[in-house]
Amino acid sequence: MPLNDQTTIMITALIIGLILGLLIFYYTSKKIQQYVLQWRYKRGRKGEERARKLLQRNGYRILTEQEEITYSLLVDGRNKTQKIVLDYRVEKNNKTYVAEVKTGNCATIDNAATRRQLLEYAYVTATTRILLIDMEKGKIRLVDFKP
């Protein structure tokens, strides 16, 4: 059954409309994703700036900020290099601590991802003393991983 000109035009318009709709959806979702990432980054940076002041008010001396540490491990006999970035390394009463700043529901040791991150920091930096800084509550918590 042959298609008439009007049907062909309608099908073509429908296909073009679908393609345009998909392109608009794709572009919009990318922009939203970009906005959310920027918002999270800004929120994190503001939290870290407030954390610096909180640490200093509580007698900690800032030794390093955003310290990058590279370490290696073996995976199936092959060397694999990883990088971590410590928010702060601080000192108080002749003791050195790694300080991790968190906001929201991940600012607790009950959060599995946070706990694993702090364990990684403790292992890589060979320290048992980690400060978990909850910026929403303005609290500094000492997490001490005993060997």
Q: Specify the fold of 39-144.
A: Lambda Exonuclease; Chain A (3.90.320)
pLDDT in tens, 74-112: 999 999 999 999 999 999 999 999 999 998 888 899 999
Cut 0.85: pTM above it: no
Measure the CA–CA gap between 62 and 52, rounded to whole angstroms.
Answer: 8
Is pLDDT at 72 greater than 80 in this prediction? Answer: yes
Amino acid identity for residue 85 in this structure:
V
What percentage of the chain reaches a pLDDT higher than 70?
Answer: 96
CB count within 10 Å of CB 140 equals 19
Q: Among 64, 131, 133, which residue's Cα sits nearest to residue 101?
A: 133
Measure the CA–CA gap between 101 and 133, rounded to whole angstroms.
Answer: 5
Look-up of token digits 């599995």: 112
Measure the CA–CA gap between 145 and 147, rounded to whole angstroms.
Answer: 6
